[in-house]
Amino acid sequence: MSTPNVIIFTTPTCSWCRALKQYLQQKKVRFKEIDVSKNQSAAKDIMRRTGQMGVPVTLINNRPIVGFNKAEINRLLNLK
């Protein structure tokens, strides 16, 4: 089984972002984190993909999930 490509877009002040990171770490999911407060082009990219400025946004194999949607994250990552 190939490792899913997981990228999370966060800000340092976002409590849902922290919860998401903790959850992924608990589930032993490797991810790349991009801080949109420091990366304007990533912020624009997420805005273009999702139509919103909210974080966290999780990209799992290029499929965006807005917010900490545990059910959808579990489904796309095949987590129980």
Asked whether the beta carbons of 6 and 59 are under 8 A apart, the reply is yes
CB atoms within 10 A of CB 77: 15
Residue (of 39, 32, 42, 35) closest to 3 by Cα position: 32
**pLDDT of the residue at 60:** 96
Q: What are phi and psi of 6, to 5 degrees?
A: -120, 120
CATH number of the 6-77 domain = 3.40.30.10
Residue 1: pLDDT above 60? no
What is the domain partition of the chain in residue ranges?
Answer: 6-77
pLDDT one-digit tens code per residue, 18-39: 999 999 999 999 999 999 999 9
pLDDT one-digit tens code per residue, 35-78: 999 999 999 999 999 998 899 999 999 999 999 999 999 999 99
**pTM, 2 dp:** 0.92
